[in-house]
């Protein structure tokens, strides 16, 4: 195990937990930081209020199920409908995970311990993915538990629920890698928030416009590809392909495995950007 | 108005990576306009839709946020605001200067591209292009003032601002018509409607309400921002 200097202090002779443990500790610490746990009350306000807004439709849906016996929200469409909230969460919290370390240039300190650049990036991505997954999955789980407790007519939609849950993980990974890659390009928090939300809104606002314009002009197959320019509809297209759910967009998505290939390629691209960024930051 | 402060602010905004963001959004707007023209849907309906959904609905609040908070929030964030505050310049004068910088940037990066985009689609039909350009200009100025104030009041200015623009103006405004009375975007559309007589542009807010509201919000936000900066506490929350 590496020591920086041995200047004669008493040596540590407790158990050595190794690099994996350090990486795990960093991931847990980052995950807590994203939700503001262990920080001031003011930094808890944002993540928790966004997570609460995210839960509201699920609560309403459970209430509707209890009183009217109908489903108000589908599992497969939840992320697409609530996408602005998830995107704001990503934009506001991704910079808190990466910006302070870059701004105070403490990366060499991390790297003097048994943590490599890739382990550091992996821990941050895992933390952000976990935070987003918690936020995306909690309403689904709440609705499913509500459905089981209320015992609606017909069998519970377990297949759709599990499909939506696994897609939430894919979506969380895609959003986390992209959000962190964008946020890590600047050491300034405010600018990081603005750049993540700007890129998201660009796709959120332009995609329906491009789709409508292409569809009205008769380019129907090109129009269906327009949906894939937004991460939420892209992952929904994968869900349609894998689990045969109804699409949550006007018209249909391009079928086949292409959306899934794009998701994998985008995650790979974002990870490559992150790796390049941190290799540069570590060498300063 | 203080020219030195203005110069420093311009350099901070235009000399860093922020300018990429300031350029990205107008370029996307013009790119969309070109795309619509190429595929042949360059009529008034799609021009109004592009303006309502993208230019006024998305680009304008985002640019207002980037410029409005960008003139002051980074300085507060890294503590260099103390060098500015310790100079014998009146604090309201500092906020006025920073507001003017943000407003001028919005005129350049929001109003001009808006005019170009509408002109690309429909030319000068029915006064749509000058109408939307003027709407974008006045609403951009109002956004600059509000987000400048927000940047002084809280460190989460960008998140709160985007939540206001997305959740209140777009989501709540879509379901609850009353919320549209208190939406800068709607006031912009009302101003645009005043100059244009296109049948595709309809607004729910009256001109007699929108103009005073824009003036009150802009002036009030700048004055309050100056007041907040006078009693500014340099404490962080991180």
A12-40 residue pLDDT tens = 888 888 888 999 999 999 999 999 998 88
Task: Among A195, A198, A206, select the one facing B54 at the smallest CB separation.
Answer: A206
Of A85, A190, A210, the CB nearest to B69: A190
Using DSSP, how many helices (H) and how many strands (E) does chain A show? 11, 0
DSSP class of residue B52? I
Contacts of A189 in chain B (CB under 8 A): 77, 155
The mean pLDDT value of chain B amounts to 87
Joined tokens for residue B19: 């300018």
Chain B residue whose CA is closest to A104:
B78
DSSP A48-92: HHHHHHHHHHHHHHHHHHHHHS--SS-TTTHHHHTHHHHHHHHHH
Q: What is the mean pLDDT of residues A169-193?
A: 91
CB within 8 Å: B74 and A191: yes
pLDDT at position B237 over 50 = no
Indicate the pLDDT class of residue B236, thresholds 50, 70 and 90. low
Q: Which of A98-102, B9-13, B154-158 has the least mean pLDDT?
A: B154-158
CB contact under 8 A, B62 and A219: no
CA of A198 to nearest chain B CA: how many angstroms apart?
7
Nearest chain A residue to B36 by CA distance is A213
CB A55 within 8 A of CB A141: no
Give the domain ranges of chain A: 18-282
Q: Region B59-70: what's the mean pLDDT?
A: 90
Q: At residue A137, does pLDDT exceed 80?
A: yes
Q: How far apart are CA B77 and CA B234, in angstroms?
A: 10
Report the pLDDT value the prediction gives residue B238, as an integer from 0 to 100.
44
Candidates B53, B49, B163, B68; CA nearest to A202 is: B53
Q: What is the C-alpha to C-alpha distance for residues A35 and A37, in angstroms, rounded to an integer?
A: 6
pLDDT in tens, A45-97: 889 999 999 999 999 999 988 888 888 888 998 999 899 899 999 999 999 99
Residue-by-residue DSSP string for A2-30: --S---SPPPP-S---HHHHHHHHHHHHH
Q: How many CB atoms lie within 10 A of CB B11?
A: 10
Q: Is the pLDDT of residue B42 over 90?
A: no
Interface touch B35/A210, C-beta < 8 Å: yes
**Could you report the per-residue pLDDT of B134-150, keeping only the tens digit for each?**
999 999 999 999 999 99
Four-residue CA torsion sign, B148, B152, B155, B160 = negative
Q: What is the pLDDT of residues B147-197, one digit of tens each?
A: 999 999 888 888 888 888 877 877 777 777 777 788 888 888 898 888 887
The residue of chain B nearest to residue A81, with distances taken between CA atoms, is: B171
- Residue A267 CA to residue A193 CA, distance in Å, equals 20
**Chain B nearest CA to A8, separation (Å):** 35
CA-based nearest residue in chain B for residue A91 = B159
d(CA B230, CA B54): 37
Evaluate if residue A199 carries a pLDDT over 60. Answer: yes
Mean predicted confidence (pLDDT) in A237-251: 88
Residue with more model confidence, A124 or A107: A124
In this predicted structure, the answer to whether residue A179 has a pLDDT above a threshold of 90 is yes
Rg (CA), chain A: 21
Q: Are the C-beta atoms of residues A50 and A92 closer than 8 Å to each other?
A: yes
* Across B69-80, average pLDDT: 85
Q: What is the pLDDT of residues A139-165, one digit of tens each?
A: 999 999 998 888 877 788 888 999 999
H/E element holding B89? none
What average pLDDT does the segment B193-220 reach?
Answer: 86
Query: pTM of the entire structure?
Result: 0.88
Which residue did the predictor score with more confidence, B79 or A265? Answer: A265
Per the model's pLDDT, the better-predicted residue between B159 and B28 turns out to be B28
pLDDT of amino acid B235 = 63
pLDDT of B56 strictly over 50? yes
> Quick one: average pLDDT of B81-96?
89
Q: Calculate the alpha carbon distances from A58 to A68, A106, A131, A169 in Å.
A: 15, 41, 18, 18
B-chain residues within 8 Å CB-CB of A186? 17
Three-class secondary structure assignment of B55-87:
HHHHHHHHHHHHHHHHCCHHHHHHCCHHHHHCC
Cβ-Cβ contacts under 8 Å, A53 against chain B = 167
Residue B68, pLDDT > 60, answer: yes
Residue A167 has pLDDT above 90, yes or no: yes
Q: How many C-beta atoms surround the C-beta of residue B29 within 10 A? A: 27
DSSP string for residues in A169-199: HHHHHHHHHHHHHHHTT-S-HHHHHHHHHHH
């Amino acid at each position: 195990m590496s020591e920086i200097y041995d200047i004669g202090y008493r040596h540590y002779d407790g158990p050595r937990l190794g690099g994996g443990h350090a990486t795990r500790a960093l991931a847990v610490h980052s995950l807590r930081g994203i939700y503001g746990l262990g920080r001031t009350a003011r930094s808890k306000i944002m993540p928790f209020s966004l997570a609460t807004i995210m839960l509201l439709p699920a609560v309403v849906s459970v209430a509707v199920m209890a009183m009217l016996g109908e489903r108000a929200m589908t599992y497969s469409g939840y992320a697409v409908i609530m996408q602005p909230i998830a995107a704001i969460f990503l934009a506001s919290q991704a910079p808190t995970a990466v910006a302070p370390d870059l701004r105070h240039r403490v990366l060499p300190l991390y790297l003097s311990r048994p943590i490599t650049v890739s382990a550091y990036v992996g821990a941050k991505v895992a933390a952000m993915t976990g935070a987003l997954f918690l936020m995306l999955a909690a309403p689904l789980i709440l609705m499913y538990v509500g459905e089981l407790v209320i015992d609606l007519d017909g069998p519970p939609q377990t297949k759709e629920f599990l499909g939506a849950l696994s897609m939430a993980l894919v979506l969380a990974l895609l959003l986390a890698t992209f959000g962190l890659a964008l946020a890590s390009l600047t050491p300034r928090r405010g600018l990081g928030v603005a750049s993540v939300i700007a890129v998201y809104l660009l796709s959120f606002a332009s995609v329906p416009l491009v789709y409508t314009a292409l569809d009205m002009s008769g380019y129907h197959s090109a129009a269906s590809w327009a949906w894939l320019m937004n991460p939420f509809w892209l992952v929904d297209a994968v869900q349609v392909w894998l689990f045969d759910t109804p699409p949550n967009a006007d018209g249909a998505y391009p079928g086949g495995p292409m959306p899934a290939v794009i998701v994998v390629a985008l995650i790979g691209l974002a990870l490559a950007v992150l790796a390049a960024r941190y290799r540069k930051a570590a060498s300063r | 108005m203080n020219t030195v402060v203005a110069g420093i602010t311009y350099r901070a905004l235009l000399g860093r990576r922020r300018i990429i963001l300031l350029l990205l959004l107008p370029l996307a707007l013009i790119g969309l306009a070109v795309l619509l023209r190429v595929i042949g849907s360059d009529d008034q309906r799609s021009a109004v839709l592009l303006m309502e959904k993208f230019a006024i609905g998305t680009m304008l609040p985002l640019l207002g946020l980037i410029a409005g908070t960008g003139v002051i929030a980074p300085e507060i964030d890294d503590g260099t605001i103390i060098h500015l505050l310790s100079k014998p310049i009146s604090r309201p004068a500092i906020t006025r200067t920073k507001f003017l910088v943000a407003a001028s940037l919005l005129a350049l990066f929001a109003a001009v591209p808006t005019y170009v985009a509408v002109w690309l689609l429909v030319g000068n039909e029915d006064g749509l292009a000058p109408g939307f350009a003027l709407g974008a200009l006045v609403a951009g100025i109002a956004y600059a003032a509000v987000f400048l104030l927000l940047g002084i009041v809280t460190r989460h200015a960008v998140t709160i601002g985007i939540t206001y623009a997305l959740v209140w103006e777009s989501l709540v405004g879509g379901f609850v018509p009353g919320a549209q009375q208190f939406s800068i975007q709607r006031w912009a559309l009302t101003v645009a409607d005043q100059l244009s007589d296109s049948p595709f542009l309809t607004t729910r807010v009256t001109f007699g309400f929108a103009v005073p509201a824009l003036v009150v919000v802009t002036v009030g936000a700048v004055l309050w921002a100056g007041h907040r900066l006078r009693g500014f506490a340099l404490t962080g929350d991180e």
